[in-house]
Structure 1
Amino acid sequence: MLPVQQFENFITQHRLFEPGGRVLAAVSGGRDSVVLAHLLKQAGIDFGIAHCNFQLRPTEALAEQEFTKNLAKSLDVPFYTTNFDAAGYAHQKGISTQMAARALRYEWFEQIRYSFNYDCIAVAHHQNDSVETILLNLTRGTGIAGMHGILPKNGLIIRPILFLNRDEVDAIVADNGLQYMEDSSNASSKYARNKLRHEVIPRLKELNPKLEETFDNNIERFRELEQLLDIRLNELRPRLLVPYGDEIHINIAAVKSLSPQRLLLFALLNPYGFSETVINDIISSLDKHSGRVFEAPGYVMVLDRNKLILSKSKAAVDTVLINREDSEVTYGNYKINLLHDDSPLIVKDNPMALSVDAEALIYPLQVRSWQHGDYFIPMGMTGRKKLSDYFVSEKIPVNQKDQIPILVNGNGDVIWIGGYRPDERYKVSALTKKVIIFELYMLNL
């Protein structure tokens, strides 16, 4: 028998969706997602099945795609599927294949949800996934938010079988004779999550056979602690973050009285993009001379005699789009001319001009200020570099960084740090058939 009553109770308890809501279920074909699909069907919920083929294991992937198609047919529900070149996307973005697959599938799920009027997207995470997530977060370093595990609901993403652990899922599959596809990559310890699953967690269960239940109880405590922190922050914000025109003033004496200081100050300033490293620098500078500047993308914090002054970076400029037919655009104090040429011209030794392989461009392009997390592959190099690290290495003053025009492709890649250095991926090569030359000029304003 399927635990339909527990399933329905969990949905109601966590208000995953309203009665009569339509659910798009992400189904890989593995046992977890197969159990999710059957529970949705038995509970009488209006749902459809969405499946992604990432073409990472060609033969297996095709079999899984066909299996989920037949599963949807047997359950008499709509079926949606698509193919992705996950490896190619990962290489293009300079990220892991796992990260690429995650980004691709969630973007596509949302497109299907919106296009076919589903209310939410259901994924088949269970308690063991939550345990693994917490252990990964602890290993890499985390705050309280990283201790609450996987949430039953996060925006439009819901996890209706989070009340089950892996052993319970296996028992449901066996007891009900459910058919599923086994992903061969799950047996490999190549990935960090699989290493935890196959090597670490079994050892922990030797110490505590009820590990999942213990973690589930701990997760509830951590979520409650997170709620207490939110209550405390809501009390502190109006007292510490005092609006003053376009600025926010923070009394240094009040910061010194915070306890625990680092935790609370980080939580208060995190919405403005200040990292833990910067928060540590702020705290260590509270008794030093005025004038020190701390920064986050789009914001600056200045140490005054008895207060911290938070403001937007005055040099930040609104994003400008470049369409295929444009010949020039203006960005802040700069003008950018675009020259189209059928010969593969290469601009050399001129930081204010750049030749780009026209076929590599995806319109509209953007010209914008740098953002936290931006990276590029500097011309002549193979490894990627964060723009923030590049600015430090080039000793670019804090108050100038947000003025620099960043040329961004339609796929999100940084093509050029205007006036400084282009990206290796967009250089003109012997195979280039057509180029676009970008010329950067300072305006006399």
Structure 2
Amino acid sequence: MLPLTQFQDFIEHHKLFNQGNRILLAVSGGKDSVLMLHLFKAIGVEIGVAHCNFNLRADEAQRDENFVKMLAASLSLPFYVTQFDTKKYAAENKVSTQMAARSLRYAWFEEIRIKENYDYIALAQHQNDAVETVIINLTRGTGISGLHGILPKRDRLIRPLLFLNRQEINEVVNKNDLSFVEDSSNLSTNYTRNKIRLEVIPHLQEINPNLEKTFAENIARFAEIEDFLALRLKKIAEKIIIKKGDGIYIALNKIENLNPQKLLLFELLKPYGFTETVISEILSSLKGLTGTHFFSASHQAIINRNHLVIVEIQEGVIANQYFHPVTKTIKFGESEIAQAFTDDLKFEVNKFKAFVDLSKLIFPLIIRNWQNGDKFIPLGMRNFKKLSDFFIDEKVPLHLKTSIPILINGNGDVIWIAGMRQDNRYKLTATTKKVAIFELKIN
């Protein structure tokens, strides 16, 4: 008999899906996925069968595809199949064959789920898979999330066989005389998971014959610890993280008061991709110089006076855009700068506009980013000031400096820091006959 009661109890306990949901089953043809298919069929859930042919085992891969196709047909179930050039994908993306297969299959399963209106994707991973995953994570290095390994449910993925271990699955399949196919690659120790399965776990089972059950209990505890940590992190984040239009701000003294400091900061910054090594560098630089930068693949963190500021890494604003006399507007990042000419010598006190003596301009003018060494004479003053010092005086966050348009004359002079200050050398005087007006418009 099939373990239907345990199967349904596990589904209900972990709230894997609701009555009436449609489930897409990932079926390879091996014992695990075949058993899962028969269990779902027996409890009357509406299901479909999805199979991936990775073209890694020649005739054997085609045999698996044909087997799953016939199995689905014999049970009158919808069948979906695809073939991948897995080795080509792995080479193009510079990943292992196993990682390539994983990326390809999950993307395709989700595509079919959405297209065919299924609610969840069911994977036939069991307790031994969970044990192997935890060991792999511990070997490579992991945070709290890596300790719980495979969860019964995450987003649209469900794993309803986690109540069984491999030996129990073998017994059920044999007793019920279920047909399946064997994957010969499971016997190869060329893959990390297989090496752990075939060479490491047997030794651990000598120490603890109930290894899978013990790990299942440990995994449940780790998952609860992660939930507890998530609740605490949420409360801490609400207190110390300030979200502004230009980035995420965390006061340095708040970071210093975190306890345990490294763990909490790592978890707080995890959504932005910062590694544990970078977190250590940030913590050692809390009393360092303003302007110290730290990077992840997607974000940068900057020590800016009394705060750690986290901003998304943007494509650099295009520099050296040119204003000719006939140019009306120029796009600069999310801003726009307009140019106009007039004989009216009136001007406004408006930081978003610059009123410049046209006779002093040498076209083409340039709009570009701030560059180290830039200097100008602020309107109303007599002496040069470095733009870097001006930004400090104006309390411009470091990460915003490169987003401010700088208007440059043909001779290299700074004419205007757009939206902030004009150069005194280009102001209107009693001898001015014609005015060039530049206006910053922020979208």
Q: What TM-score does the superposition give when structure 2 sets the normalisation length?
A: 0.70
Q: Counterpart of 2:11?
A: 11
Q: Counterpart of 1:237?
A: 237
- The alpha-carbon deviation at position 297 of structure 1 amounts to 4.1
CA distance 1:289–1:317, shift in 2 (3 Å): closer
1:225 matched to 2:220: no
The one-character-per-residue Cα deviations of 1:17-57 (angstroms, maximum 9, x if unpaired) are: 11021111111100000100110111111111111111111
**Aligned-residue CA RMSD in angstroms?**
2.3
Inter-partner Cα distance in structure 2 for 1:204 and 1:164? 18
CA distance 1:103–1:332, shift in 2 (3 Å): farther
Query: What amino acid sits opposite 1:27 in the alignment?
Result: V
- The alpha-carbon deviation at position 97 of structure 1 amounts to 1.2
Q: Is the 8 A contact 2:124 2:160 kept in 1?
A: yes
Inter-partner Cα distance in structure 2 for 1:200 and 1:298? 37
Q: Is the 8 A contact 2:302 2:399 kept in 1?
A: no
Q: Is the 8 A contact 1:315 1:399 kept in 2?
A: no
Q: Counterpart of 1:388?
A: none
Equivalence map 1:180-329=2 (5 Å):
180-244=180-244, 246-313=246-313
Query: What amino acid sits opposite 2:294 in the alignment?
Result: F
Aligned-residue identity in percent = 51
The one-character-per-residue Cα deviations of 1:224-253 (angstroms, maximum 9, x if unpaired) are: 110111111111112211245534332222
Q: Counterpart of 1:177?
A: 177
- The alpha-carbon deviation at position 399 of structure 1 amounts to 7.5
The one-character-per-residue Cα deviations of 1:108-144 (angstroms, maximum 9, x if unpaired) are: 2122222222111111000100000000000000000
- The alpha-carbon deviation at position 307 of structure 1 amounts to 2.8
Equivalence map 1:94-113=2 (5 Å):
94-113=94-113
Q: Counterpart of 2:77?
A: 77
Q: What secondary structure sits across from 1:311 in the alignment?
A: strand
Q: Counterpart of 1:24?
A: 24
Q: What secondary structure sits across from 1:163 in the alignment?
A: coil
Structure 1: give runs of 5+ residues left out of the alignment. Answer: 319-329, 334-397, 404-445
Q: Is the 8 A contact 2:20 2:45 kept in 1?
A: yes
- The alpha-carbon deviation at position 9 of structure 1 amounts to 1.3
Q: Counterpart of 2:129?
A: 129
Q: What secondary structure sits across from 2:214 in the alignment?
A: helix
- The alpha-carbon deviation at position 290 of structure 1 amounts to 2.8
- The alpha-carbon deviation at position 291 of structure 1 amounts to 2.7
Q: What secondary structure sits across from 2:249 in the alignment?
A: strand
Q: What secondary structure sits across from 1:25 in the alignment?
A: strand
Query: What amino acid sits opposite 1:160 in the alignment?
Result: P
- The alpha-carbon deviation at position 298 of structure 1 amounts to 4.6
Q: What secondary structure sits across from 1:249 in the alignment?
A: strand
The one-character-per-residue Cα deviations of 1:56-111 (angstroms, maximum 9, x if unpaired) are: 11111111111111111222211111221111221222211111111221222122
How many equivalent residue pairs? 327
- The alpha-carbon deviation at position 303 of structure 1 amounts to 1.8
CA distance 1:164–1:297, shift in 2 (3 Å): same
Inter-partner Cα distance in structure 1 for 2:332 and 2:37? 53
Q: Is the 8 A contact 1:127 1:212 kept in 2?
A: yes
Equivalence map 1:81-92=2 (5 Å):
81-92=81-92
Q: What TM-score does the superposition give when structure 1 sets the normalisation length?
A: 0.69
**Higher radius of gyration, 1 or 2:** 2
Q: Counterpart of 1:48?
A: 48
Query: What amino acid sits opposite 2:222 in the alignment?
Result: F
1:163 matched to 2:163: yes
- The alpha-carbon deviation at position 302 of structure 1 amounts to 2.3
Q: Is the 8 A contact 1:14 1:152 kept in 2?
A: yes
Inter-partner Cα distance in structure 2 for 1:227 and 1:161? 22
Deviates more, 1:214-223 or 1:54-63: 54-63
